[in-house]
Homo-oligomer: A and B are copies of this chain.
Amino acid sequence: MKLATLRDGTRDGTLVVVRRDHAVFAKATGIAPTMQAALDDWANVEPKLRALADRLEKGEVEGTPVEVEQLASPLPRAYEWVDGSAYINHVILVRKARNAEPPPTLRTDPLVYQGGSGAFLAPTDDIPLADVEWGCDFESEIAVVLDDTPQGTTAAEAGRHVKLLMLVNDVTLRNLIPPELAKGFGFFQSKPASAFSPFAITPDELGGAWKEGRVHLRLQTWLNGELVGDTDAGPEMHFSFFDLVQHIAKTRSYTAGTIVGSGTVSNEDRARGISCLAEQRMVEIIESGSPKTPFMKPGDLVEIEMFDEAGRSLFGRIRQRVVQK
């Protein structure tokens, strides 16, 4: 099942069910008004949404054509957005880029940070940039949406709490990071609003590609129309989504609709390209002594999408242009 949120002038939009080919949608009116409302009562709501999705698939319900620009992020605002950094290659490269050592617990203790979740960008919203010197970067990631997840949930139990998956562009202001991390409290100003894919999908839509808390498919990223990343999201995700859930549930509980991100998808094989510019710049430093690729500037366009093995888009496309704010 694929879901989306239609912009309707309200804060949380209207929940819609989307046909598997992304061509048409049907409003979930009468089932759940918003994505958050659906997640708040998922056990009751999910079968009804699936029944509607089935009827839409079979043509028994009239669909309205999808216009991606009319969609908000599936959760236009969420109660929590917890982003991991589960691809070890990304951690190593990005820390090299700021002359920082990877933590000694790199492979045993997941890195996560708490992100802002009150005002996400839509999948096709511009990225407002007030100062090009901030070093605006994209980060192409995968995220899961949880239902109520109690304190003490283990990795073995985590799978049952994953209700939906999405893609994310975790926009990052690279040049604000070093002074911010030097203060010791983690990211804040360096993490402006993120944007999510048009469609949030249930794990069964991934078939066998959803395995032990990882998505075994390629995540593609284009910058100004050029494919810059075709990274494998599967084997190099050192900590699975299930590991991340166990980590974050050690000392507290989570409400339905909490979003957990994978961190930038990253492969050791450089031929796979990049899911953020910081990695590209680090590779250039290693190879030639200095970075050649600039960070994004007004006018630049980043696109992120994932296809299944038959070449069908799974989540729709994040498509964002940087604009001067």
Contact = CB atoms under 8 A, between A and B. Distances in A.
18 contacts: A11-B255, A79-B118, A82-B188, A113-B114, A113-B185, A114-B115, A118-B254, A118-B257, A119-B252, A119-B254, A119-B255, A130-B151, A173-B251, A181-B184, A184-B186, A189-B248, A193-B252, A193-B253
Interface residues of A, number: 53
A130 to B, nearest CB: 7
A58 interface: no
Greatest chain B CB density within 10 A among A112, A247, A251, A254 is at A251
A64 to B, nearest CB: 27
Contact of A116 (B77, B80, B181): B80
A24 to B, nearest CB: 30
Interface stretch (A103-111, A199-207, A210-218): A103-111
A291 interface: no
B77 A78 contact: no
B254 A188 contact: no
Greatest chain B CB density within 10 A among A116, A173, A247 is at A116
A276 to B, nearest CB: 16
Interface in A109-129: 109, 111-119, 128
Given A103-B184, A183-B111, A258-B118, A251 B11 contact: no
A298 interface: no
Contacts of A85: 185
Interface in A150-202: 151-152, 173, 176, 179, 181-193
Given A189-B250, A251-B189, A117 B79 contact: yes
A192 B325 contact: no
A40 interface: yes
A286 interface: no
Contacts of A252: 116, 119, 192-193
A100 B248 contact: no
B103 A183 contact: yes
Interface in A21-57: 40
Interface string A75-90: 0011110100100000
A146 to B, nearest CB: 10
Contact of A113 (B112, B186, B254): B186
Contacts of A117: 79-80, 117
B253 A119 contact: yes
Nearest to A36: B11
Contact of A185 (B77, B182, B186, B325): B186
A181 B251 CA distance: 16
A222 interface: no
Contacts of A186: 113-114, 184-187
B184 A255 contact: no
Nearest to A193: B252
Contacts of A183: 103, 105, 109, 111
